[in-house]
Amino acid sequence: MKHIITLILLAAYSFSFAQTDLHISDNANVYIYVDGTAFTSGPTVAPLYVNNGINLVGDGNLYLRNEAQLIQNNPTANNSGTGRLSVYQTGNSNVYMYNYWGSPVGQNSGAAGNTDLMPSNNFYLENTAPISSTAYGYIGGYNGTNTLIANYWLYKFTGVQAYPDDYQDWIGLGGGVSGDQNGTLEPGYGFTMKGSPSGAQQYDFRGRPNNGDITVILNRSRETLVGNPYPSAIDARDFIHNAHNQANTTGVLKYWEQRAGATSHVLSNYVGGYATYTVSSDGLTDSYVSAPFNMYNPDGTPAGGPIGTGVKTARRYIPIGQGFMMEGTATAPAQTVLFSNSQRVFYKQSGADSEFFRTSETSSNTYNESQYNEDGYNIVSEDYKRFRINVGFNNNGNESYSRQLLMNFHHTATDGFDYGLEAKISEQVASDANWVLEGVPYVIQAFNYNMELRIPLVVKIGSQQAVMFRILDVQNFDTDQPIFIHDIENGVYVNLRENNYEINLPQGTYTDRFEITFTSESLNIDQVVTADDLNIYQNNQLAQLNIANPKLLDVKQVRLYEVSGKQIFNQRNLNTEVSYSFSTKNLSQGVYIASITLADNQVVSKKIVVSNK
């Protein structure tokens, strides 16, 4: 059983336990203060762990401070009482910028159980640390202050109104065209709110803590704004790979980020976009692509060319108060997403695997965490391969935007959609690039790696401009394994590990011109190489790979690969000979690929079958 309740009590108190319930009595001077400073993030411990329900009687209050969190076990335990749990979260938006939120609390009234959020009842402003706060005030104009929230910008996005465009699906809390601080929102849904002149504003969520199973309706054709509904972090792996959510969602979380320094509420001046995140079932392989920063038309659709890329990174542990977009699958049986206590973990936001889309500090913890390199990219385990392609668009001499595409390889990946390893693109603009699956644009894709793969890369050009292809974050490929961009129309293979490829393209959509390959020629087991060129064959009686070179071509390199892509040997600095022989007696029986590189960088490859007796 998990460790139960460690508290620091800084005031007169009266509390009792009944079957590991937590009961705080009806007295204005009674509260429990939980300090998370001395606690290290871990899967089996939390500063406050309650097996069943919490009863905050009358004015009895519970304060979570310094990254303390509350975890509850029993999903059917209904929290109750008119006292309040208090927990902080800091937004990073100024008066012109949105944060996407989820509320860990609801109103502290009515029957026992989870209740709806009402901003006027649940948002507090700290007066005097560590526990004194007063309810936020609200202002009816567009600009909030350091003490007043602009209620106009309190919106939800459920995607179920069936309006002709997404922008009309933003509905103000209260149901109007703008927000109302007295409007309500059910647990698990997300909402938007613009910030204060100070930029980094701390909000005190106060109310009855949410607990247990929380179900949110999703739309099959559009995304829905949801949010972490608990006063604790949730594990994205357990959330995404929950059996219910696997059957009903795409398993992709999309985080809104705006470019810093916004100075206008006018939609056409917004610069922002959605970052994309998913995670493997073991939780160790993050697949994340930063937000492309777009500009927007008055109807909310992307306008013109994008102008930059986000700087923040989503991690595995979703902090308190974080909101994000999710999409239901086209065949979802229930069209819902499920939050549950089994997904709750104690993980500090200052830890390396958590971010409320703000700058965060690092902290030690006891989780088996994902690892990141100095560039901030997830280091994948040895059974994965990975690379990223940056497609840069250079209009009028300025590279205004790079679309980053992530490619995963794993033995479990299929030619269809791979949950936890792939993600569609949220929005596309006039000049853009994408992978493609069944005609749908993807920003993250996955395959079972083999050297014969030819992966289409679609490029869309809004107006004639230079386009540059670059590769980065190459992991677990052999050092000498090329990764080519193949320009089919020009008949050019460029190894992106050695050189970038830049080309000027006219306006149009190029669906079958570019592909990623791992050899410069298509491998074909029936390929015949004549004696006028090279004759590559396996002599199984002698256990040798033989290469006949009757024209004395200048052979620079001979490599042998398993079909999976693992390099077996790499012979360099060869003299020009009429024939070459390489022993294969220590190889297992199976199919291999021999790859011969000539001095002019032409590559000739052929499958061979090793059958040692």
Token pair 């385990």 is at which residue? 381
Q: Which of 43-57, 291-305, 567-581 has the highest mean pLDDT?
A: 567-581
pLDDT band at 529, cuts 50/70/90? Answer: very low
Is the predicted pLDDT of residue 450 greater than 90, yes or no? yes
Distance CA 495, CA 430 (A): 27
> Of the segments 102-116, 358-372, 416-430, which one has the largest average pLDDT value?
102-116
203 residue type, one letter = Y
The per-residue pLDDT for range 246-274, each reduced to its tens digit, is: 999 999 999 998 888 888 888 777 778 88
Closest CA to 197 of 151, 153, 144: 144
Q: What is the mean pLDDT of the chain?
A: 85
SS3 call for 534: coil
**What local confidence, expressed as pLDDT, does residue 506 receive?**
92
Name residue 529's amino acid: V
Taking residues 371-389, what's their average pLDDT? 89
Percentage of the chain modeled with pLDDT above 70: 85
pLDDT in tens, 303-316: 655 567 777 888 89
Mean pLDDT of 540-561: 88
List the structure tokens of 219.
């739309």
Q: How confident is the model at residue 243 (pLDDT cuts 50, 70, 90)?
A: very high
Q: Say whether pLDDT at 20 is over 80.
A: no
Output the six-digit token pair for 504. 């000027």
Single pTM value for the model: 0.83
Q: Is pLDDT above 70 for 294?
A: no
pLDDT confidence tier of residue 438, bands split at 50, 70 and 90:
very high
Name, in order, each residue with C-beta under 8 angstroms of 218's C-beta and a sequence gap of 6 or more.
Answer: 159, 224, 248, 249, 326, 327, 328, 332, 335, 336, 337
pLDDT for 3 beyond 70: no
- Residue 13 pLDDT: 37
pLDDT of residue 264: 87
Instruction: State residue 168's pLDDT score.
Output: 72
pLDDT surpassing 50 at residue 527: no
If one counts every other C-beta atom within 10 angstroms of the C-beta of residue 581, the result is: 12
Which of the four pLDDT bands, split at 50, 70 and 90, describes residue 485? very high
Q: What is the pLDDT of residues 198-234, one digit of tens each?
A: 878 899 999 999 999 999 999 776 789 999 999 999 9
Per-residue pLDDT of 395-406, as tens digits, reads 655 446 788 999
Q: Judge whether 584 and 610 are in contact, CB under 8 Å.
A: yes
Collapsing DSSP to helix, strand or coil, 343 comes out as helix
3-state secondary structure of 119: helix
User: 130: cis peptide before it, omega within 30°?
Assistant: yes
Distance CA(526)–CA(543), nearest Å, equals: 21
Assess contact for 486 and 513: CB atoms under 8 A: no
Question: Per residue in 106-133, pLDDT tens?
Answer: 999 999 999 999 999 999 998 887 889 9
pLDDT of residue 302: 66
Angstrom distance (rounded) from CA 586 to CA 577: 25
**Residues 119, 182: Cα–Cα separation, whole Å:** 6
pLDDT at residue 181, rounded to an integer? 96
pLDDT single digits (tens) 30-79: 789 998 888 877 666 678 999 999 999 988 899 999 999 999 999 999 99
**pLDDT score at 246:** 95
**What's the pLDDT score for residue 10?**
38
Of 158-162, 364-368, 533-537, which one has max mean pLDDT? 533-537
The H or E element containing residue 248 is helix 243-248
Task: Please tell me the predicted confidence (pLDDT) of residue 532.
Answer: 54
Range 163-177 average pLDDT:
77
Strands (E), 236-312: 253-258, 271-279, 286-289, 294-296, 302-303
Which helix (DSSP H) or strand (DSSP E) does residue 458 occupy?
Answer: strand 454-461
Residue type, 508: G
Name the 3-class secondary structure at 414.
coil
- CA 338, chain centre distance (Å): 18
Residue with tokens 């762990």: 49
The domains found in the chain, sorted by start residue, are: 15-259+310-372 (no CATH), 380-517 (no CATH), 535-610 (2.60.40.3080)
Report percent pLDDT > 90 for the chain: 51
Amino acid symbol at 504: N
In this prediction, residue 237 has a pLDDT band, given cuts at 50, 70 and 90, of very high
Strands (DSSP E) contained in 328-483 are 336-339, 344-345, 371-372, 378-379, 384-395, 398-410, 423-424, 432-437, 440-447, 454-461, 465-475
Task: Tell me how far apart the alpha carbons of residues 444 and 74 are, in angstroms, rounded to a whole number.
Answer: 37
pLDDT of res. 306: 57
The 10 Å Cβ neighbour count of residue 459 is: 21
Per-residue pLDDT at 174 exceeds 60: yes
pLDDT range class, residue 566, cuts 50, 70, 90: confident
Q: What is the pLDDT of residue 427?
A: 82
Dihedral of CA atoms 81, 82, 83, 87 in degrees, nearest 10, equals 100
189 confidence band (pLDDT: 50, 70, 90): very high
| pLDDT of res. 162 | 53
pLDDT of 236 strictly over 90: yes
Q: Which two tokens stand for residue 476?
A: 């677990």
Nearest of 89, 88, 83 to residue 107 by alpha carbon:
83
